[in-house]
Amino acid sequence: IAPLPPDLEPEQARAAGFVIVGGGIAGVTCAEQLSALSPDDPITLLSASPLIKSVTNFRQVGRAMEEFDVEETTTDALQKACPNVRVVHTLVKSLDTDKHEVYTEDGQTFPYTKLCICTGGQPKLITKDNLHVIGIRDTETVQHFQQKLSNARRVVIVGNGGIALELVYEIEGCEVIWAIKDDSIGNTFFDRGAAEFFLPHLTAAKCEEKKPLKRLKYTHTEPSVASPKREDAAMGGALGPDWKEGWRMKGKQDQSAHQVHVEYQCEVQEVLTREEFTRTGQAAENFPGSSRTEEHNDDWPVYVLLTNKRLYGCDFVVSATGVVPSTGPFLHNAQFSVSPDGGLRVDDHMHTSVPDVFAAGDVCTASWEPAPQWFQMRLWSQARQMGSYAAKCMVADRDREEIDMDFCFELFAHVTKFFNYKVVLLGRYNAQGLGKDHELLLRCTKGLEYVKVVLQGGRMQGAVLIGDTDLEETFENLIINGMDLSPFGEDLLDPNIDIEDYFD
């Protein structure tokens, strides 16, 4: 247990209170949980974004599976619900871990007893300072994207994670060139089989009308404390599960069908201006499969040369290649242990390598020995879980009490939607880290469902469930119980066997 700061007596230490940096899901959940556990202690939440995130409609759908919505809310709402929480809209600039003080850009000093860093991440851009290359992270960046898209005939999307997947599905009235380095789409979340299941939906017209927004959404025109264009600027909180709803993703062209072309197994070699493109002397590609006989390929604002040597002109590029943890303000004076992915390393009590400093959400890297079926992925479910657990650890640390790890870190579980299908990912759903010694069971009904089970030594290690399969709770239990399923063989996925009854 970390000692109290040497120059603070226990009473003074209590007065300095808890400080959290970041108004995203991790930071706000941490503040709420701290307030519930320690209602008489001062808690200060410092956030660069004027609006903060809050988790609503939380539903525990299994032992580790959860579903919830994320809303942008005003700081008043949090302060009203948690009277001992004070939210300050400010940009944190640096930290003195010896003095236990946080400093902000507008000259304020915040002393702390225990600090939790929840500053999230920033999009990892394929190239910096290029007006034609944008990332998507918060409300401001989506607005920027939407504005650019409304005048665009063609966009190049780079990356194969969740954001890219959602964008290629949502964009209408604009040609999309999707460049991925893998041999199948969406491989952060699923395998080749599941990719094949989704592929027809890339080009099919969407049957669903955009539904009206199911709840009030706050929007804010005032930018974050510092403009995101600046090197050291902080962004707003990452968007929530329904970030695309209510945002029109329509390009300049009339047709509403999807026009998506996937370039597999390639990366961006170079982003070129029109002048640089002209100097290459290379011809730019037409949109593959386009019925137009004549294309003007010399008047695009920007050109993208891929490593497979194909060259495309486009209106702009979306770089959706992951995030870099936002650790900048904290690394000047303090000796944090930082993982190769740029995150602040935390132990199994969300404690960084620096006394009295904790971290949660996208900014941290879980550096404990994980349970066999859990791993870190920068998702809102984990941001919530880490924020909540960090609060418990901070209070226990201050009170010098022992605390067990939350159950949610026993099993990786993510419930989401892709292409309008429910998607549940459990455990080592892509056989991550299992080597070759595993087997897969598959069940697929085209357009309806895709079920994959990963088994090792007869025991279920993970599963991918796409569609309304109703299998998630049973499979979650089977993974947690570690039951030997070898006697069932392929019957496990036989649609004529009610597996739920079987294992009751």
Contact footprint for ligand FAD (CB under 6 A)? 21-27, 46-49, 91-92, 118-121, 136-137, 162-163, 224, 234-239, 243, 326, 329, 361-362, 378-381, 383, 416
Give the integer Cα–Cα distance in Å for 348 and 368: 5
**Quick check: helix, strand or coil at residue 407?**
helix
Question: What are φ and ψ of residue 3, in 5° steps?
Answer: -70, 160
The structure tokens listed for 430 are 């892509």
Residue 22 or 462 with smaller CB distance to ligand FAD: 22
Q: How far is the CB of 41 from ligand FAD (least distance, A)?
A: 21
- In this structure, the chain runs to a length of 504
Helix, strand, coil percent content, the chain, rounded in steps of 5: 25, 30, 50
Residue 285 or 341 with smaller CB distance to ligand FAD: 341
Residue 180 or 455 with smaller CB distance to ligand FAD: 180
Burial profile 72-107: b = 16 or more Cβ within 10 angstroms, e = fewer: bbebeebbeebebbbbbbbbbbbbebeebbbbbbee
Helix (H) or strand (E) holding 16: helix 10-16
Q: How far is the CB of 117 from ligand FAD (least distance, A)?
A: 9
Q: How far is the CB of 271 from ligand FAD (least distance, A)?
A: 21
Burial profile 442-459: b = 16 or more Cβ within 10 angstroms, e = fewer: ebbeeeebbbbbbbbeeb
Q: How far is the CB of 34 from ligand FAD (least distance, A)?
A: 15
Q: How far is the CB of 15 from ligand FAD (least distance, A)?
A: 23
Q: How far is the CB of 467 from ligand FAD (least distance, A)?
A: 17
Give the integer Cα–Cα distance in Å for 331 and 345: 12
Q: What is the 3-state secondary structure (H, E, C) of 163-178?
A: HHHHHHHHCECCEEEE
Query: What's the CA angle centered on 301, arms 133 and 304, to 5 degrees?
Result: 60
Maximum separation of any 2 CA atoms in the chain, in Å: 79
Give Cα separations from 411 to 7, 212, 367, 452 (angstroms): 41, 35, 16, 17
Q: Are 43 and 22 in contact (CB under 8 A)?
A: no
Question: What are φ and ψ of residue 77, in 5° steps?
Answer: -60, -40
Residue 233 or 306 with smaller CB distance to ligand FAD: 233
Q: How far is the CB of 308 from ligand FAD (least distance, A)?
A: 27
Q: How far is the CB of 452 from ligand FAD (least distance, A)?
A: 19
The structure tokens listed for 348 are 């199994």
Give the integer Cα–Cα distance in Å for 273 and 253: 23
The structure tokens listed for 252 are 């300049």
The structure tokens listed for 58 are 């939380």
Q: Are 173 and 255 in contact (CB under 8 A)?
A: yes
Q: How far is the CB of 70 from ligand FAD (least distance, A)?
A: 7
Sheet with 85-89, side-by-side order of all strands: 85-89, 43-47, 18-21, 114-117, 357-359
Residue 21 or 391 with smaller CB distance to ligand FAD: 21
Q: What is the DSSP letter of 446?
A: T
Q: How far is the CB of 129 from ligand FAD (least distance, A)?
A: 20
Residue 329 or 467 with smaller CB distance to ligand FAD: 329
Q: How far is the CB of 115 from ligand FAD (least distance, A)?
A: 12
Give the integer Cα–Cα distance in Å for 306 and 135: 19
Residue 20 or 305 with smaller CB distance to ligand FAD: 20
Residue 88 or 403 with smaller CB distance to ligand FAD: 88
